[in-house]
Structure 1
């Protein structure tokens, strides 16, 4: 458990020193605070994105859709920084285990946009769960037991 906390707090590299090391040491949060901040930021981002998606269906709501959906995605993506820290999150973003989740795109067709919005929410959730130990396994087992 101590090793897991060291990794999640960004202390896995013993060689880290200088300005970056001081910033990491001065900005560490407890695991509980990290999880609470992640959940709050993630939910706020998803709610903004859903609100933006609702605006997509209103007449001339494309600008509001773009603003709220973009704000929601940025907020939800930034929420993962609470779990690993911004530098490690950026480095690990293109890990092969997360490649599919980072590649979901949005198109101009409204039904397709709605489909990709849902897929993007799901991929962001799956991406975020990859930073919480054993979270993906728990979700897989939960869905397996529900479908069986």
Structure 2
């Protein structure tokens, strides 16, 4: 469990020594009064509710004029799923990792797609654009998530490339 805690918090021996010398405000923001078990429970609940929202959105898709409700519920589900990792890593650490050089483009596209989904559903009332933004959301969130797994993006590129070669 300690290895998992260290991996999720991004700490190893060298990081701990550097962190001791680091910014005190960052340490205060990263260190939470929540126990590890509470953090895991918070992650599971937040992720589960996010999954439930996404699933319910998919059910609403098949109702008459349900595309707007689908877009909203799917977006809320993605936001909750993304926010659930803040329980494990802490919000400051999560933001630092989200905007790391390897993830910055995927993060910006993901946030833009989240916002544009809601704008197209509520402001523009354009159902086709909302559906396109949901697809872009899914692809950006997948690409973003793959960045946390070593060599997963390379494997996805090769898999997609081999599917296109036929």
Question: With structure 2 as the length reference, what TM-score do the two structures score?
Answer: 0.57
Matched, 1:9 2:5: no
Counting helix residues as a fraction of each chain, which structure ranks higher?
2
Match of 2:112 in 1: 103
Can you give the 5+ residue segments of structure 2 that lack an aligned partner in the other structure? none
Matched, 1:73 2:82: no
Runs of 4+ in 1 over 6 A off after TM superposition: none
Task: Pick one of 100, 122, 130 that aligns with 2:139.
Answer: 122
TM-aligned CA deviation for residue 55 of structure 1: 1.9
Q: Aligned with 2:110: secondary structure?
A: coil
Match of 2:154 in 1: 137
Alignment of 1:10-49 (within 5 A): 10-11=10-11, 12=15, 13-15=18-20, 19=28, 23=32, 27=36, 41=47, 45=50, 48-49=53-54
Structure label with greater radius of gyration:
2
Write the distance in 2 (CA, Å) between the matches of 1:63 and 1:143: 30
Across the aligned residues of Structure 1 and Structure 2, the Cα RMSD in angstroms comes to 4.0
Can you give the 5+ residue segments of structure 1 that lack an aligned partner in the other structure? none
